[in-house]
Structure formats: structure tokens, C-alpha cells
Amino acid sequence: MATEVNDGALAAGEVNGAAVEKTVTFTAVKPRLFVEASKVGDAVAFYKAAFGAEEVNRVNHPKRKADQELPVLISAEIKLANSSFLVSDVSEDSSATDKAVGSGLVFCLETEDIEAAVDAAVKAGAVADGEISEGEGACCGGRVGKVKDPYGVVWAICTPTAKKCGDVEA
């Protein structure tokens, strides 16, 4: 375990007995979810209805007009719990063609009111994935209720980490 922690300390900008590298500053991390072109608007509306997310930015196609067959909206930025994510037309980015993300990815969405959050998501069109249960390690071991949204994303609605983490070492 100690070895892993030490290996991880070789971040850019730290001294490693070798040259000191330039430190790169990142200002934001935003997951960008791709959906079919015709579903971008629906997906944005779903995330607003299901989670009370706020649309903070939208990008329209530079050439399409509202009266054409293809939708004008190609990407929108959604704000949810002080984080942002993007919902985009999959045809706009070739790197999205590889649908697998690692060995899987879910979004943990932390709230004190898991029942109401699951209910609201289901009402908006998500499908409950099992019952609300005590997680075992999942999202730090609190209670968790999972829903799968109409766009194939699993949301693990769970107790805030800060309240439930017992086995903390780092």
C-alpha cells in the first residue's frame, strides 16, 4: 500500500530526483455524455426534470436552421450540485465511438433525501435498478438507490460521502 501511495506522488511539478517539470493547472473537469443527435434536447430536458439541473450554456450548430430536419442544438452544459457536465450530439466527436468507458462508469449523486430523489428521477423517465439498500463499499458505504436514465447512464443516488466514510486512510 505504501508503495502505491509513493508511486502516485510523482505528479508533474514535483521534484523526483530529476528535473522539476512544469506544473499544469486544470480549471475544470466536465464529463461529456454523448447521445444521438435527435436526443440532445430531450436529454437536457430530462436532466432538468429528474435532478433539477440547470442549463448554463448551449452550443448550436453553425449551419443548421430551426426549420431543418437535423436539430440545431448540438451540445449543452448542465450544472448540477456545483459540478458541470455536457450533453452532446455523438456525431460531433469521433472519439465517442468507443462506447466502453474503462470497465464501466456510473455517476454518484449525493443527497440526504434518497427516496425523493429516486422518485423524481423515475417520474421523469428513469428506471429504478433494484431497491434502495445499504451499499457495501459503493459510494463509501452509505445508503444507495440506483436508477438508469433513458440515455443509458446509471446514477447511484447515495448518502454524502463525508457523513459515511469510516475507513479513511489518505
Total residues contacting its own copies by CB under 8 A comes to 103
The yes or no reply on residue 15 touching its own copies (CB under 8 A) is: no
Q: Report in angstroms how near the CB of residue 72 gets to its own copies at its nearest.
A: 6
Q: Report in angstroms how near the CB of residue 69 gets to its own copies at its nearest.
A: 15
The yes or no reply on residue 41 touching its own copies (CB under 8 A) is: yes
Measured CA to CA, the distance from residue 26 to residue 54 in angstroms comes to: 23
Measured CA to CA, the distance from residue 15 to residue 29 in angstroms comes to: 25
Site residues for its own copies, window 83-122 (CB under 8 A)? 83, 85-86, 88-90, 92-93, 95-113, 116-117, 120
Measured CA to CA, the distance from residue 55 to residue 57 in angstroms comes to: 6
Question: For residue 44, which amino acid is it?
Answer: V
Q: Given candidates 20, 31, 38, 68, which one binds its own copies under the rule CB under 8 A?
A: 31
Q: Report in angstroms how near the CB of residue 158 gets to its own copies at its nearest.
A: 9
Q: Report in angstroms how near the CB of residue 22 gets to its own copies at its nearest.
A: 5
The yes or no reply on residue 126 touching its own copies (CB under 8 A) is: no
* Helix or strand (DSSP H, E) at 114: helix 114-124
Q: Given candidates 20, 52, 68, 70, which one binds its own copies under the rule CB under 8 A?
A: 52
The yes or no reply on residue 35 touching its own copies (CB under 8 A) is: yes
The yes or no reply on residue 156 touching its own copies (CB under 8 A) is: yes
Within 10 A of 144 (CB to CB), how many other CB atoms are there? 22
Measured CA to CA, the distance from residue 79 to residue 76 in angstroms comes to: 10
| Coil/strand/helix, residue 10 | coil
| Coil/strand/helix, residue 159 | coil
